[in-house]
Structure formats: structure tokens, C-alpha cells
Amino acid sequence: MIRKQFDGKIPKDIYKRLRDEHKCVGCGKCCNCSPIVISPKDIKVMAFALNMSPKAFKEQYTEVYPGKPGISHFKKEKPCAFLDENNRCKIYNARPDICRSYPLSGGRRIPIECETLNAIVDKMVVEVKK
């Protein structure tokens, strides 16, 4: 399995292929990653979906990202507090932007926990070697 950390962004052609070919299998491994950074907008959306105030949501589910006082992330629970017993997100329609863009969040790295994405990368490496 290829596990590559890019210094910059993943090249556009590789990113496009990964994005287009990746099909989530619902394994839930990504829901075991910490920390999952969430924006103030994400907090508002999730709080609304759970009939909570943003303040109550923040107190119950988030903490400040270490060394970054303006950034919040889910409390370090593994798996994520919103993952059910079938590896499905209980707040899927209100999930944070970082979860929506996973596994290519920001296009900076290929996450080692995503086996389906790594299988695509492995296939690409074999193609290049031919």
C-alpha cells in the first residue's frame, strides 16, 4: 500500500482520478481519525440538526485544537461520537465540511486509513511501472 505525504497539493491529474474513482465502502475507519477539525459554520449546522444551541453543541462535543485557540475539533472519542453501530454517520446530512471532502480533504495527503483510496493509488503505481 502506498502511503505518501505530499509537501504541497496532490497533482491535479492524480487528485482528479482519486476523486473520480473513490467509492466509499462505509468501513468507518475515517471516523476513527483524530482530530476532526470543525468550523463555526459546521457547529451551527450540526447543532441545528440536533435541536441544540451552537453553544451547547460546542460544550458537549468539541474542544479547542491544541495551540490554535480559534479552531475547534471533536473531542477525541474513537470512534466519532456520531458513528453508529453499523459504521454509519448519525448526522450524515449535517456532517462537517472536512467529512464531506474526505478522503481528499484539502488535497494535501492520501490518508493511510482509507483502504479504497490506497487501492486506487496502488493500481496507479502498477500502471506507471508497466
Give 34-88 pLDDT, tens digit per residue: 678 889 999 999 999 999 999 999 999 998 888 887 788 888 777 788 989 888 8
Q: Are residues 37 and 89 in the same domain?
A: yes
pLDDT of residue 91: 93
Q: Are residues 113 and 73 in the same domain?
A: no
Cell digits of residue 15: 487528485
Q: 85 in a domain, yes or no?
A: yes
Range of the domain at 114: 1-22+103-125
Q: Are residues 49 and 18 in the same domain?
A: no
Task: Please say whether the beta carbons of 80 and 95 come within 8 A.
Answer: no
Q: 98 in a domain, yes or no?
A: no
Q: Are residues 38 and 86 in the same domain?
A: yes
- Of the chain, the percentage scoring pLDDT greater than 70 comes to 88
Q: 28 in a domain, yes or no?
A: no
Residue 2 pLDDT grade (very low, low, confident, very high; cuts 50, 70, 90): very low
pLDDT of residue 107: 63
CB hemisphere CA count around 114 (13 angstroms): 22
pLDDT of residue 19: 84
Domain count, the chain: 2
pTM: 0.74
Task: Please say whether the beta carbons of 79 and 28 come within 8 A.
Answer: yes
Closest by CA position to 83, among listed 34, 120, 121? 34
Q: Are residues 79 and 39 in the same domain?
A: yes
3-state helix, strand, coil in the chain (%, to 5): 45, 15, 40
